[in-house]
Amino acid sequence: MPLPEKIIVDHEAANTLLTRKVTGRLPGVPVQTLLPGQNISEFTTRDNSLVIYLKHYRGKFLRPCPATREYRCCGYQIIHIGENCPLNCSYCILQAYFQDRILKVWANQEDLWTELDVEFGKDRTRKFRVGTGEFTDSLALEHLTGYSADLVGFLNDYPNVCLELKSKIIDLSWMRRASSTRGVLPAWSVNSPDIISAEENGASSLEERLNAAGRCADNGFRVCLHFDPIIHYPGWQKGYSKTVEMILDYLKPEKIAYISLGSFRFMPGLKDEIIRNHPESDYIYNEFITGMDGKTRLLLPLRLEQFGYIAGKLRQGGISEQLYFCMESDLVWKDVLEYTPRELGGLPKHLLNLAFR
């Protein structure tokens, strides 16, 4: 990751442990304090330079995934630790959400610990499957913040919680804080090597991700993989075949907790951002329709073809019950996997069982 242009700190977060940690690890980067009544726009530049904003967050840290009722949701819950990402993936939804390069990190961790203790501690028989990779990459800023390591250490006392760390980069420093291999699911987004090379700017290669996944498996952790977004492009069969072959080279099926399959989908505003920020990315001109949730999706026959092809390759390699679809209808489930989430007892329950197996 390139060095940020500056660090902006909420006055209320100036003396927190996390603020001291980040500023200490970036000694040459100027630090500016945001005082009451000031707006962060006063401190940012027009050239969209990278800025880290250590913010005193006042919202809910634990929240449900922003799913839609029209498609099957996995029941994942988000531990909200910050917003935006230093990577520059062309298809990333965050560029439509935030439209800037301000990396927000919630610096008031003590408030986070208090909220999580209340939620996870009031009924120790209730199990939670949580993660931090919804509004940011779980590990992209780990070398500066140590946030995932702090979470892993905190959750050692909550065996009813399974934490998924989803990323496109490699940082396994959190592993030293885990007292058990059962409470953490290291996870990586995977894609065709062609897509990773052309569209996932700043991310680790597929080989690096799978090598890290293999190292986690060798240390007793089960891992998760996410084919999301699957992109339709000339030669996609060869590209995704290569991905599956590499997965099977690095991981035994029993070391994989689950694998999601999700087709490229986007809210209307994202297309303009991709055209503006990544004009060379022509997959945006594929054959799309508007889905039941208002998002633009690849035509159903094309989605079914890709899902069937990739799922078939994974099944041939011994990976079957771990497969699930991210935000798809029962029709897709039945056509490709020959069953629906209801036959599994519901997708949230099924994934919870796989996570705690």
Q: Which residue has the higher pLDDT, 1 or 278?
A: 278
- 156 and 251 share one domain: yes
- 47 and 65 share one domain: no
Kindly report the three-state secondary structure assignment for every residue of 335-353: HHHCCCHHHHCCHHHHHHH
- 197 and 278 share one domain: yes
Look up residue 99 and give its two tokens: 């439209």
Closest CA to 152 of 164, 137, 167, 170: 164
- 159 and 205 share one domain: yes
- In this predicted structure, what is the pLDDT of residue 45? 62
Average pLDDT rounded to a whole number, residues 65-90:
81
For residue 171, give its domain range: 60-355
- In this predicted structure, what is the pLDDT of residue 267? 87
Sheet with 265-266: strands ordered across: 265-266, 296-298, 288-290
Contacts of 97 (CB under 8 A, 6+ apart): 83, 135
Say whether pLDDT at 37 is over 70.
yes
Contacts of 38 (CB under 8 A, 6+ apart): none
Look up residue 281 and give its two tokens: 């990315």
- 236 and 165 share one domain: yes
Q: How many domains does the chain have?
A: 2
Say whether pLDDT at 53 is over 90.
yes
Of the three residues 36, 56, 76, the one that is the final residue of a domain is 56
- 220 and 240 share one domain: yes
Amino acid at 82: G
Question: pLDDT digits over 258-282, tens only?
Answer: 999 999 999 888 999 999 999 999 9
Of the three residues 25, 56, 87, the one that is the final residue of a domain is 56
> Using an 8 Å Cβ cutoff, are 304 and 336 in contact?
yes
Average pLDDT rounded to a whole number, residues 296-303:
96
- In this predicted structure, what is the pLDDT of residue 193? 98
- 49 and 113 share one domain: no
- In this predicted structure, what is the pLDDT of residue 72? 58
Closest CA to 73 of 329, 281, 331: 329
Contacts of 94 (CB under 8 A, 6+ apart): 83, 84, 85, 135, 136
- In this predicted structure, what is the pLDDT of residue 16? 97
Cα–Cα distances in angstroms (integers) from residue 77 to residues 66, 118, 131, 350, in the given order: 9, 15, 6, 15
Over pLDDT 70: what percentage of the chain? 96
- 77 and 98 share one domain: yes
Phi/psi class of residue 64: alpha, beta or left (left: φ > 0; alpha: ψ in -120 to 50)? Answer: beta
Backbone phi and psi for residue 103, each to the nearest 5 degrees, phi listed first? -90, 100
Cα–Cα distances in angstroms (integers) from residue 124 to residues 117, 157, 159, in the given order: 11, 11, 8
Helix, strand, coil % (nearest 5) of the chain? Answer: 40, 20, 40
- 115 and 239 share one domain: yes
Indicate the Cα dihedral angle 92, 137, 349, 316, nearest 10°: 70
Say whether pLDDT at 70 is over 70.
no
- In this predicted structure, what is the pLDDT of residue 3? 83
Angle, CA 350 vertex, CA 345 and CA 354 arms, to 5°: 150
Over pLDDT 90: what percentage of the chain? 85
Backbone phi and psi for residue 127, each to the nearest 5 degrees, phi listed first? -95, 145
Say whether pLDDT at 71 is over 60.
no
Residue holding tokens 């599994």? Answer: 344
- In this predicted structure, what is the pLDDT of residue 66? 66
Question: pLDDT digits over 201-236, tens only?
Answer: 999 999 999 999 999 999 999 999 999 999 999 999
The CATH number linked to 173 is: 3.80.30.30
Across the chain, mean pLDDT equals: 93
Average pLDDT rounded to a whole number, residues 190-197:
98
User: Using CA atoms, how far apart are residues 265 and 328, in angstroms rounded to an integer?
Assistant: 11
Name residue 53's beta-bridge partners: 8, 104
User: Using CA atoms, how far apart are residues 351 and 280, in angstroms rounded to an integer?
Assistant: 37
- 166 and 277 share one domain: yes
> Using an 8 Å Cβ cutoff, are 68 and 120 in contact?
no
User: Using CA atoms, how far apart are residues 341 and 337, in angstroms rounded to an integer?
Assistant: 10
